[in-house]
Amino acid sequence: MAESQSNARLRAAAGTPTSGVIHVRTRLTADFTVISNALAQRRGSAVTVGVAAYILSLPDGTPVSITALCEHFTEGEILISRALKELEHAGYLERRRERLSTGQIRTRTYFHEVPGGGPQPGPGPDGPPEPPQPRRSRRQAAIAEVTSAASEPASASASASAEETVAEPVQAETEAPVPLSEADPRAVAVLAALRRVDPRLILSAREAARLAPAVTRWLAAGLLPTHITDHLTARLPDQFLTRPAGILAYRLKETPLALPVPARAAEPSARPAVVPMQNCDGCDRGFRPTQPGRCRDCRARDQLRAAG
């Protein structure tokens, strides 16, 4: 007798989800990275999470500049730069200017596993780093450097050079950007149309307002918008190592040569005086004599009569 078989579906194991991802976990003992769920599950760009995970997996001292990251990822400079700015704004990435024992200032990059956490102390290339301090703005850091440079015993020339070195970023921070509404509309139109020639030349409103005065000078020198566009888009590099605004500012930094003033046409020579009309004393015909008297025909007839 044949055995009875049931065609009912088998019951799933308890605790196993019926949909979604099912993890197949393996206990790792080497070559793994610990990343918080807050960062791994961060909403927004996947490039930002991928860059953060890659930076966390790197050993200390590995370069994480935009150029170094572009060599590893297939994304371009714009997406990588945007990801780094998002991580810095969220508190994961931090760039600090630290003074070395030799007096030089170096920018060090810290990546926090938890936003806002201080750097872990450890030996560096020039000894142990300074203890973590509360974050300060660039303006406060520049003022502190000026104060420390003035308090150190040094010659007058050295103090002056130190003040000039740190005074530049302070001025850059206090300089108010020019509103886009006050910029020359013709210059803004030229800058906005650049992305039609090269899609990479995308400018923000602040960048367009900063570049508009230079374009206005080129237009005032007599150049047409098409000439300016050709100059700004010719022979661009395959990969941008900086923002497009930096390349355009470099190409616009020189003032173009103004068109020569057209020479005035030579003034016409003075017209000879017009001899007034007079009537001939012989035939009463009108003519223009240099001296009053008879016309040419009457003089010729008089000469014939005298000869005959």
Q: Render 147-160 in DSSP notation, one character per residue.
A: HHHHHS---HHHHH
Cα gap 124→96, rounded to integer Å: 15
Is 299's pLDDT higher than 60? yes
pLDDT digits (tens, 9 = 90+) for 202-219: 888 888 888 888 888 888
Token pair of 88, please?
A: 């810095």
Query: pLDDT at residue 133 above 60?
Result: no
Highest mean pLDDT among 6-10, 125-129, 214-218, 254-258: 214-218
What average pLDDT does the structure give for the chain? 75
55 in Cβ contact with 109 (< 8 Å):
no
pLDDT at 226 over 80: yes
CB 213 within 8 A of CB 187: yes
The pLDDT of residue 287 is 78
Residues near 17 by beta carbon (within 8 Å), at least 6 away in sequence: none
Q: How far apart are CA 248 and CA 256, in angstroms?
A: 15
Half-sphere exposure of 203 (CA within 13 A, CB side): 27
Q: What pLDDT, in 10s, does the model give residues 52-91? A: 999 999 988 898 889 999 999 999 999 999 999 999 888 8
- Which of the four pLDDT bands, split at 50, 70 and 90, describes residue 142? low
What does the longest C-alpha to C-alpha distance in the chain come to?
173
Task: Tally Cβ neighbours within 10 Å of residue 203.
Answer: 19
Q: State how far the Cα of 148 lies from the Cα of 266, in Å rounded to an integer.
A: 69
Q: pLDDT tier at 259 (50, 70, 90 boundaries)?
A: low
Q: What are the Cα distances from residue 115, in Å, to 84, 92, 122, 174? A: 14, 5, 20, 28
d(CA 198, CA 221): 25
pTM for this structure?
Answer: 0.36
Specify the higher pLDDT residue, 297 or 263: 297
In whole angstroms, give the CA distance from residue 35 to residue 15: 26
pLDDT above 70 for 182: yes
